[in-house]
A = this chain, B = another copy of it.
C-alpha cells in the first residue's frame, strides 16, 4: 500500500473520522457503517469509503466496520498510537487553556513544557508545569526531544520563536498566532485563527 502520496485533503479528514469513532466506542458501539459514520461527521458515505480505501481494506460489504480495529489502524496511520510530548509557547489565556486542556491525553499528546517571555509569568505554575523562560527554549526543547509545539504568542514574535523551535528540532507547529510562518521543507505547520474560521463562514452567508 503506497500511502506516500495521499492527498492532504484526505489526511485532514482522518482525525475527524477517528474522533467520531472514539466517541462511538466510548458509548459502547462496536460496529458502524460508512453511512452512519458519514452522518456523524457530515461527509458522504462514498467519500469515507474512498478516503479509507487509500490505506487498505477496513470493512466488509454488509457487515461494515469493526470500530476497535478501525480506531487502531487510524491511530497507527496518524501516528497517535503513541504519546507525543508537546511544548506550548505563550502563557496568555489561550496558551494556559491549551496547557491544561484535558482532551489531548487520549488522542496522542501530552503537554510537557510551557514558555513565556514575561518575567511575571516565568516560574508560575500552570497545571503541573512551571512556566519556563523562552530565552532557554532552544536548549530546553532540544534536551527534552520535543518534536511538536503550539504557538500562542503575538504575530510579531511568531517567526522568531518558530526559527528557534526548528533549531531545537521541532518538526510540527500548531500556530495560533494570526500570521503565516516561513519554515523549511519537512516542517509541518497547521494554522488555527478564529478570524479565518469566521471568514470561511461569512462567505456563504
Q: Name A residues whose Cβ lies closer than 8 Å to a Cβ of B.
A: 9, 11-12, 14-16, 18-20, 23, 39-42, 77-80, 84, 86, 92-94, 96-98, 100-101, 103-104, 107-109, 147-148, 150, 155, 171-174, 178-183, 188-205
Contact = CB atoms under 8 A, between A and B. Distances in A.
Nearest to A86: B198
B179 A108 contact: no
Q: Count the copies.
A: 2
Contacts of A190: 197-198, 200-201
Nearest to A109: B198
Given A16-B180, A20-B180, A78 B202 contact: yes
A153 to B, nearest CB: 13
Nearest to A178: B103
17 contacts: A12-B200, A19-B179, A19-B195, A39-B182, A78-B202, A80-B199, A80-B202, A92-B97, A93-B97, A94-B94, A94-B97, A98-B194, A103-B178, A103-B193, A150-B194, A188-B201, A190-B198
